[in-house]
Amino acid sequence: MIKILFIGDTVGRQGRMAVSKLLPELKKKYEIDFTIMNGENLSHGKGMTIKNMDEMHECGVDFFTAGNHVWKFKETLAYLDEEDARLVRPANYPKGVPGMGHKIVEIKNGLKILIINLQGRVFLKPDIDCPFRAADEILKENKGDYAAVIVDFHAEATSEKITLKHYLDGRVSAVLGTHTHVQTADHHVTDKGTAYISDVGMVGKEDSIIGIDKESIIDKFLYQLPTKHEITVEGSSFFNAVLVEIDEKTAKAENITPIFLKNL
């Protein structure tokens, strides 16, 4: 059995501080084999710098997935093309954009896992390529003896996420939803061995609106004018993740456990 910890969208400095505080102990407690984080909000809530990724790697994050904000920093675009990059971007962007949407990673004792990042189209970016067909292509081109196949589906609509679960059911070890920053209560393992949750949640400021200072977001809803997203480091934080346990011989999930820690 291998244990993979997937950390939800981590927002800004307060999110990074929470991960730095909690992750080393969590890895020991649960005997984690590999840790993945959706890092597209690492740097002040939008995008991720190399410095911030290195900070998270030093405290125990092994690999990063992304989403629609991955394109913010030029340095990150260059990093995406590096052969040893610990980061994938959504696979269903058009050919020619920097980086890869999947990666094969060795986690321990020669065991390899396939990590896939996809982005939804409903309510988000309808003009990108089809995530369902992109997943098909990756699985067709990367047939192998993997201990696990993990899919981060960065999407807005629960219906689209659930549909992808059914579409990939039995073909991947886990379909884990990200992007909406609110941990859902629908975690389960299908009869065919695919672990699922509509959204893993987030790591960041508790008294906020999905990690952003609430005042600016309230003003945006009241006045319908552009507002700057502020993230001040104050107050308590919470930490959302899921622990997925997978049979390394069959790549079938056995269990998925949500982790929700607060008042940090």
- Active-site residue (options: 44, 69, 166, 181): 69
Which one-letter amino acid corresponds to residue 163?
A: T
Name the residue with tokens 């991947």. 172
Structure tokens at 58: 């030093």
Name the residue with tokens 């992007």. 179
Quote the CA–CA distance of 30 and 13 in Å, as a whole number.
25
Question: Has 69 been annotated as catalytic?
Answer: yes
Instruction: Report which of 150, 211, 199 is spatially closest to residue 3, judged by C-alpha positions.
Output: 150
Three-state secondary structure string covering the chain: CEEEEEECEECHHHHHHHHHHHHHHHHHHHCCCEEEEECCCCCCCCCCCHHHHHHHHHCCCCEEECCCCCCCCHHHHHHHCCCCCCECCCCCCCCCCCCCCEEEEEEECCEEEEEEEEECCCCCCCCCCCHHHHHHHHHHHCCCCCCEEEEEEECCCHHHHHHHHHHHCCCCCEEEEECCCCCCCCCEECCCCCEEECCCCEEEECCCECCECHHHHHHHHHHCCCCCCCCCCCCCEEEEEEEEEEECCCCEEEEEEEEEECCC
Task: Enumerate the active-site residues.
Answer: 69
